[in-house]
């Protein structure tokens, strides 16, 4: 899945279009990091919910939920996300380009 196009469109681009063109790999890495963080949050939230219910699917359900959380996190990060990726991108570019 190519998240670069979605990521570049989804980031709140406060520093202008030049940032996207300056280092798209850094922007992609920051979006990927945000997706990992969101996936961890989703997993922790799911683990805190009661597991009893009508559809206790065992291993297959766990695998499905894990894949679902992973994809959901990637889609959230590709959109506006929670801003972790954008904050990380700004901090890294500020430190790198201010030298």
Residue 36, pLDDT > 90, answer yes
- Integer-rounded Cα radius of gyration of the chain: 17
Determine the length of the chain. Answer: 99
From residue 67, how far is each of 12, 26, 79, 96 by CA, in Å? 27, 25, 19, 35
Q: Is the pTM of this model over 0.75?
A: no
From residue 91, how far is each of 14, 35, 53, 68 by CA, in Å? 13, 18, 44, 30
Q: Where are the alpha helices (DSSP H) in the chain?
A: 4-10, 17-22, 24-48, 58-78, 84-97
Task: Collect all residues with Cβ–Cβ distance below 8 Å to 38 and sequence separation of at least 6.
Answer: 72, 73, 76, 77, 81, 82, 84
**70 vs 4 pLDDT, higher one:** 70
Give per-residue pLDDT as tens, 38-50: 999 999 988 887 7
* pLDDT for the residue numbered 15: 47
Q: How far is CA 96 from the centre of its chain?
A: 22
* pLDDT for the residue numbered 59: 82
């Amino acid at each position: 899945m190519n998240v670069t196009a979605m990521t570049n469109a989804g980031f709140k681009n406060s520093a202008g279009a030049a940032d996207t063109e300056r280092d798209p790999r850094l922007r992609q890495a920051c979006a990927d990091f945000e997706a990992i963080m969101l996936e961890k949050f989703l997993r922790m939230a799911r683990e805190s919910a009661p597991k009893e219910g009508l559809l206790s699917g065992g291993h297959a359900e766990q695998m499905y939920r894990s894949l679902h959380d992973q994809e959901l996190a990637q889609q959230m990060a590709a959109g506006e996300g929670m801003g972790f990726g954008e904050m990380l991108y700004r901090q890294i570019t500020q430190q790198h380009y201010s030298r």
